[in-house]
Amino acid sequence: MEWLLKNALRGIRKYPELFSALEEFERTKKIPKFTYRKRVDVTIDENLLREARTYCEKNSISFSRVVERGLKKELFSRE
């Protein structure tokens, strides 16, 4: 039983937002969102935008997801 407590505490430390969501569910009986999205305005090259939208349409991918992946790659690949 001690291993359960140890693993539970480790999980709470690693994913505090999950524990907060469980607390919120217990209080409101509604599951909160884990990810929130924010609309942003950016300026990019017109030709690049056209190509990106065509690519997304052909591959049935959300343009926002492509932008998110690119940002994650740029931010986290340098570590």
Q: What is the mean pLDDT of residues 64-79?
A: 88
6 with 29, same domain: the answer is yes
The count of domains in the chain is: 2
Question: Which residues span the domain enclosing 21?
Answer: 1-35
Note whether 43 and 79 are same-domain residues: yes
Q: What is the pLDDT of residue 54?
A: 96
| pLDDT, tens only, 15-69 | 887 778 888 888 898 877 767 788 899 999 999 999 999 999 999 999 999 999 9
DSSP letters for 7-44: HHHHHHHH-HHHHHHHHHHHHHSSPPPS----------
- 24 and 47 co-located in one domain: no
Question: Are 29 and 42 in a shared domain?
Answer: no
Handedness of CA 45, 76, 17, 21 (dihedral sign): positive
- The listed range with the strongest mean pLDDT (8-12, 14-18, 41-45, 75-79) is 41-45
Q: Are residues 75 and 50 in the same domain?
A: yes
26 and 13, same structural domain? yes
With H, G, I as helix, E, B as strand and everything else as coil, classify residue 35: coil
Q: Which residues contact 32 (CB under 8 A, 6 or more apart)?
A: 21, 24, 25
What per-residue confidence (pLDDT) applies to 34? Answer: 66
